[in-house]
Structure 1
Amino acid sequence: MPTEQAPLGILGGTFDPIHYAHLRLAQEAADALSLPRVRFIPAGQPAHRAAPQASGAHRLAMVQAALAGLPQFECDAAEVSSTAPSYTVPTLERLRGELGADRPLVLIMGADAFLGLASWHRWRELFALAHIALATRPGYVLAEQALPAELAAELAQRQCLPAALAQQAAGGIARFEMTALDISATAVREQIRTARSPRFLVPEPVLDYIEAHSLYR
């Protein structure tokens, strides 16, 4: 299948800063779900969390530095340059306008984010725009009883095998296991704030950028 028609992975986030757990999530999703490319989309004004500590320009530059030399990964700068709040459905609508109605889009998210999906802006419309790739830790069981009833119903109806994601443009939910890496942007920022080194938690080009611009101090 030509790359321009193959499923495209979508990984959004504040990336404040981007770190190795983000990259590993993208890599394992690509491997498990046969995604030739994964697009990272830094949020401009995230709607569901506090404002990022680093500016959009800095966060975008760090993502670009982290992805340099990794041809399977690409960076989308559109959200950072927008003044509107970053909501997932409008982002996917923009991508549909760019990529067409037929290309499979695969929104990558962790189990914690999925548990809160029913609180997202226009969340039911997600399924008409993209598949969901649900990352869980090895041995983790996502109990449908713990989900809101409306979300449990969607999961029961839409669960599919990874191979099915290439067969239609949107609407499926495929699970995959990912290596548990206890790395968070909050922990990285705290290490920097307290004059400890986050080396080996973030890629070297990102660390160089943080030091060069005195971020998170």
Structure 2
Amino acid sequence: MLGGTFDPVHLGHLRSAVELQECLMLDRVHMVPASMPPLRDEPSVPPEERLALLRLGIGQTPGLTADARELERHGPSYSADTLASLREEYGAEARLVMALGHDAFLRLVEWRTPERLFELAHLVVIDRPDHDAPLPDALVELIHRREVDCSEALFQEPAGSLLRLALPTRMAISATEVRRRLLEGSSIRYLLPEAVEARIQERALYRRH
């Protein structure tokens, strides 16, 4: 599971999903747009539109799927609920992984029932090579004795461990920057898949109205 607002989806999101699948030899990666992210501002466009953009971005990429389950629930998008749904779908013995970026990892103790995440899945943190600040004490306590150093150790059990993973390609693209460029009328070429850019331009998304 790779969640996020995908506001909008860009090549950094998609390349990370492909490399996660390759590095961890995952059967598939569920890319799950959040409907109402509890710890972030409300996304710029409706969830159904972000899902449509994500589907266009993924296209026919093997192993990646746009998963609408958080959009089908009412209320805030809690990752533990999404993982519980995936666990029910795949069964008790499946190796489940929730991937998250370093910035989200630093706020993990603020999430709803963070301990439950480890009961349902493994957590994989996409490391930032330039970020080596010490972790908050509460986060150190949360991940105590959970961290492993390779995927083989991670997958010995269905859930419960944490792996920090440096992906081969680190694309310095942010959705915030994409939205800023759209507001200014600047080019977003080569930051997004062509099909995503075409729909954004066609529907005048992320522009002032």
TM-score tier, shorter chain, comes to: over 0.9
For residue 133 of structure 1, what is the aligned residue in structure 2? 124
1:176 offset after TM fit, Å? 1.1
Q: In 1, distance between residues paired with 2:70 and 2:117?
A: 18
When structure 1 is superposed on structure 2, of 43-52 and 147-156 the one drifting more is 147-156
1:190 offset after TM fit, Å? 1.0
For residue 211 of structure 1, what is the aligned residue in structure 2? 201
Q: In 2, distance between residues paired with 1:65 and 1:39?
A: 15
- TM-score, normalized by length of structure 1? 0.89
Contact map agreement 2:2 2:100 (CA 8 A) in 1 = yes
Q: In 2, distance between residues paired with 1:163 and 1:30?
A: 14
Contact map agreement 2:36 2:76 (CA 8 A) in 1 = yes
Letter in 2 for 1:51: E
Letter in 2 for 1:34: M
1:97 offset after TM fit, Å? 1.7
Deviations 1:8-46 (A, max 9, x none): xx1001101000111122122222222131110001111
1:150 offset after TM fit, Å? 3.4
User: Identity percentage over the alignment?
Assistant: 40
Alignment CA distance shift 1:115-1:20 (3 Å) = same
When structure 1 is superposed on structure 2, of 90-99 and 26-35 the one drifting more is 26-35
Matched, 1:97 2:85: no
Deviations 1:51-72 (A, max 9, x none): 1111111000001111111011
For residue 192 of structure 1, what is the aligned residue in structure 2? 182
Q: In 2, distance between residues paired with 1:85 and 1:93?
A: 15
Unaligned runs of 5+ in 2: none
Q: In 1, distance between residues paired with 2:83 and 2:22?
A: 22
Q: In 1, distance between residues paired with 2:187 and 2:158?
A: 43
Contact map agreement 1:138 1:180 (CA 8 A) in 2 = no
Q: In 2, distance between residues paired with 1:154 and 1:31?
A: 28
Number of aligned residues: 205
For residue 33 of structure 1, what is the aligned residue in structure 2? 24
1:188 offset after TM fit, Å? 0.5
Q: In 2, distance between residues paired with 1:23 and 1:48?
A: 23
Q: In 2, distance between residues paired with 1:149 and 1:111?
A: 16
Aligned pairs (5 A) from 1:173-184: 173-178=162-167, 179-184=169-174
- Runs of 4+ in structure 1 displaced over 4 angstroms? none
Unaligned runs of 5+ in 1: 1-9
For residue 5 of structure 1, what is the aligned residue in structure 2? none
Q: In 1, distance between residues paired with 2:171 and 2:118?
A: 28
- TM-score, normalized by length of structure 2? 0.92
Matched, 1:167 2:161: no
Letter in 1 for 2:63: Q
Q: In 1, distance between residues paired with 2:91 and 2:116?
A: 17
